[in-house]
């Protein structure tokens, strides 16, 4: 379907919205008085099929065709879902205290948690919330930093420049320039918090943060403790990495710009948000040139198209015994940035129509980082396809960290041996120095990310609870970034800024704990899968590519979706009911030894 037809179809949907809502209300009133809880859940699943199809189509058009018209469509779809959700949660209250089947009770609980931004019951406030969320996500997607009237840079272009540039002042320009897009979001975001908190309270939660923390088959307080426990397990490895990276950056930029007893300036780590540091690997590489896995050169030399890069990722999943992606995936996905319109380039995977219509949305570049992102995104798609036969309320990850961890686990199998086998690098012999190099490259991504992954939601929990107010949004943001990451802004920031809004997941209101948990789970999953595959050797050298036994076990866990507590799903694959970060320590044991040697005599900490 071309874009114009999609817009027209969406506008027809908006026009019919009020009539649909009126008929829906009449049908609901008749149904509630006679339904059992089981019948109520069956109706919810049936309604979600059609409602989800409409909402996902509207969101897809909005993300791939950013205009005022698609904003109207997306906002209307969001309002329709918000009203449906609010109404159905109120109806579900009549079953409180009843002796319900376990699946029925779980379905009703998941219904309550079925939105990251619950709307107030008041129609005007519901409309206002939908418009705000659409507006600020659109502001992010269309954001640009203009160096001059005719020289404007998009977010994805700035991200690439942050990765490639090594000049201190030029990096500072890009870093501060991108954050200008977030300033106009500040007041809208504060109002969003008020409205979403009101919606959460109507569902029985003290605030939106408590609601988010309730989505993990444990109490909100227990989840906070669980997050802290997992961070404690990995913090020693992060501290060693931070100390070494700071020392190397000090050698390059000078101790006056990178003080060796304080946090690292946030713009020097190769990433717009200093969340992953792999782009500065060339500055940190332990043994220059040893075991170099230059996938970027292969992709460029062989001129891989975006579709060919995606085919490479698909082949990995197929090697595990999983099905090929449907033809509609190739017809409907966005692989490249269109020249004629604004789109959201942030990579995402879509399971439209209950997983029957799988797609990805990316603006793919010929880089190894992009290739790894593709492998990750297809993990979402395969998960969506695996649980598509579950009732609609169970069509999700066991918890949201599981969804992120599937593809992350697969990327761990992109070992030098695997990359050589599929022709992306030249084969080379084993060398312990090459192992350290590869582990450093991976740690600059996975380990560097862990504190960032934890603090994003910790900031929002404080915002939602009122502990962090609009008057200290930015101060609290940087306090947490310094506390966990040992990162500081390179120039003075104030409450005239809104630096959290320069990170996609804040204006898009995407909970972030999932990414922290995923980085933990991927290593735990990989350890279990490598045992199933019969791997003999260090965990860091294992690739499950081609193992049907591992793939069968993996897919069986995925097929459960959210139909059972995540502890049950985890046990199916790993044999344990507890998330465990010790697999990370096992995996990076060679690097930890190297870092301790390098940091001997240095003053670590900040």
Catalytic-residue membership of 404: yes
Q: Which of 115, 67, 187, 241 is nearest to 510 (CA)?
A: 115
Phi-psi region of 355 (alpha: psi -120 to 50; beta: other; left: phi over 0): left
Q: Which of 598, 568, 469, 489 is nearest to 194 (CA)?
A: 469
Distance separating alpha carbons of residues 380 and 405, to the nearest angstrom: 9
Who's near 263: CB < 8 A, 6+ residues apart? 482, 485, 486, 487, 488, 606
Residue of 458, 505, 518, 594 marked catalytic: 505
Task: Return the sign of the alpha-carbon dihedral for residues 423, 428, 429, 433.
Answer: negative
Which one from 242, 380, 403, 535 is the annotated catalytic residue? 380
Whether residue 267 lies in the annotated active site: no
Q: Say how many C-beta atoms besides its own lie within 10 A of residue 16's C-beta.
A: 12
Task: Please confirm, yes or no, whether 140 is among the known catalytic residues.
Answer: no
Task: Kindly provide the b/e burial profile for residues 402-423, where b requires at least 16 CB atoms within 10 angstroms of the residue's own CB.
Answer: bbbbbbbbbbbbbbbbbbeeee
Q: Say if CB 168 and CB 484 are below 8 A apart.
A: no
Three-state secondary structure readout of 466-526: CCCCHHHHHHHHHHHHHHHHCEECCCCCCCCCCHHHHCCCCCCCCCCHHHHHHHHHHHHHH
Length of the chain: 606
Q: How many helices (H) and strands (E) does the chain have?
A: 26, 6
**Pair 527, 584: CB distance under 8 Å:** no
Residue among 145, 317, 515, 594 flagged as catalytic: 515
DSSP 3-state of 145: strand
Cα–Cα distance between 277 and 281 in angstroms, integer? 7
What is the three-class DSSP state of 183?
A: helix
Catalytic residue among 347, 420, 488, 589: 347
State the catalytic residue, choosing from 242, 376, 399, 535: 376
Single out the catalytic residue among 131, 404, 458, 540: 404
Exposure string (b/e) for 534-550, b if CB count within 10 Å is 16 or more? Answer: ebeeebbebbbbbbeeb
Pairwise CA distance, residues 535 & 427, whole Å: 20
CB 482 within 8 A of CB 606: yes
| Cβ(358)–Cβ(327) below 8 Å | no
Say what angle helices 220-253 and 513-533 make with each other, to 10 degrees.
90
Backbone angles phi, psi at 120, to 5 degrees: -65, 160
- For this structure, is 242 an active site residue? no
Q: Is-catalytic flag, 399?
A: no
Least Cα distance to 72 among 131, 8, 132, 157 occurs for: 131
244 catalytic residue (yes or no): no
**351 in helix, strand or coil?**
strand
Exposure of 2 by Cβ count < 10 A (0-12 exposed, 13-18 middle, 19+ buried)? Answer: exposed
Residues contacting residue 105 through CB under 8 Å, at least 6 positions apart: none
Q: Is 120 left (phi over 0), alpha (psi -120 to 50) or beta?
A: beta
How far apart (Å, rounded) are the C-alpha atoms in residues 470 and 500?
A: 12
Catalytic residue among 85, 244, 267, 346: 346
Write out the catalytic residue numbers: 346-347, 376-377, 380, 404, 505, 515
């Amino acid at each position: 379907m071309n874009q114009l037809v999609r817009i027209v179809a969406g506008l027809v949907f908006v026009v019919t919205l009020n009539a649909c809502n009126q008929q829906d209300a009449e049908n609901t009133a008749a149904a509630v008085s006679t339904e059992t809880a089981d019948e109520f859940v069956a109706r919810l699943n049936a309604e979600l099929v059609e409602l989800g199809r409409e909402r996902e189509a509207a969101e897809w058009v909005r993300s791939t065709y950013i205009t005022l018209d698609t904003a109207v469509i997306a906002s209307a779809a969001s309002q329709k879902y918000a009203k449906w959700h609010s109404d159905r949660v109120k109806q579900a209250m009549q079953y409180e205290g009843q002796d319900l089947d376990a699946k029925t009770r779980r379905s009703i609980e998941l219904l309550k948690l079925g939105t990251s931004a619950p709307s107030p019951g008041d129609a005007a406030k519901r409309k206002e919330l939908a418009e705000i969320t659409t507006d600020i996500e659109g502001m992010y997607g269309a954001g640009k930093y203009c160096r001059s009237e005719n020289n404007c840079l998009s977010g994805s272009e700035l991200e690439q420049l942050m990765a490639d540039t090594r000049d201190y002042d030029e990096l500072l320009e890009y870093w501060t320039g991108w954050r200008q897009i977030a300033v106009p979001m500040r007041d809208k975001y504060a109002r969003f918090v008020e409205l979403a908190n009101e919606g959460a309270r109507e569902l029985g939660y003290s605030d939106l943060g408590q609601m988010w923390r309730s989505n993990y088959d444990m109490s909100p307080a227990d989840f906070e403790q669980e997050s802290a426990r997992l961070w404690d397990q990995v913090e020693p490895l992060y501290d060693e990495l931070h100390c070494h990276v700071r020392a190397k950056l000090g050698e390059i930029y000078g101790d006056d710009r990178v003080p060796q007893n304080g946090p690292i300036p946030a713009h020097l780590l190769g990433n717009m948000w200093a969340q992953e540091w792999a782009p500065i690997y060339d500055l940190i590489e332990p043994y220059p040139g040893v075991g170099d896995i230059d996938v970027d050169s292969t992709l460029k030399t062989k001129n891989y198209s975006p579709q060919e890069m995606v085919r490479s990722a698909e082949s990995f999943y197929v090697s595990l015994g999983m099905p090929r992606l449907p033809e509609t995936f190739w017809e409907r996905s966005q692989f490249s940035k269109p020249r004629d319109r604004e789109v959201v380039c942030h990579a995402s995977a879509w399971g439209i129509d209950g997983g029957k219509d799988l797609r990805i949305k990316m603006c793919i570049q010929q880089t190894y980082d992009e290739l790894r992102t593709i492998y990750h995104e297809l993990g979402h798609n395969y998960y969506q396809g695996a649980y598509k036969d579950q009732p609609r309320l169970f069509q999700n990850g066991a918890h949201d960290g599981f969804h992120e961890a599937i593809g992350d686990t697969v990327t761990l199998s992109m070992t030098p041996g695997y990359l050589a086998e599929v022709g992306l690098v030249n084969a080379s012999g084993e060398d312990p120095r090459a192992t350290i190099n590869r582990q450093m490259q991976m740690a600059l991504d996975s380990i560097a990310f862990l504190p960032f992954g934890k603090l994003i939601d910790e900031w929002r929990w404080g915002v939602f609870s009122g502990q962090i107010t609009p008057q200290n949004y930015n101060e609290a943001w940087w306090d947490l970034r310094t506390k966990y990451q040992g990162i500081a802004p390179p120039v003075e920031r104030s409450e005239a800024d809104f630096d959290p809004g320069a990170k996609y997941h804040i204006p898009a209101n995407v909970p972030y704990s999932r990414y922290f948990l995923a980085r933990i789970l991927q290593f735990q999953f990989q350890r279990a899968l490598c045992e199933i595959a019969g791997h003999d050797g260090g965990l860091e050298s294992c690739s499950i590519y081609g193992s049907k036994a591992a793939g069968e076990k993996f897919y069986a866990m995925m097929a459960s979706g959210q139909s059972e507590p995540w502890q049950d799903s985890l046990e199916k694959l790993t044999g344990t009911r507890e998330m465990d970060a010790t697999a990370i320590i096992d995996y990076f044991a060679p690097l930890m030894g190297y870092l301790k040697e390098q940091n001997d005599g240095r003053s670590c900490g900040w």
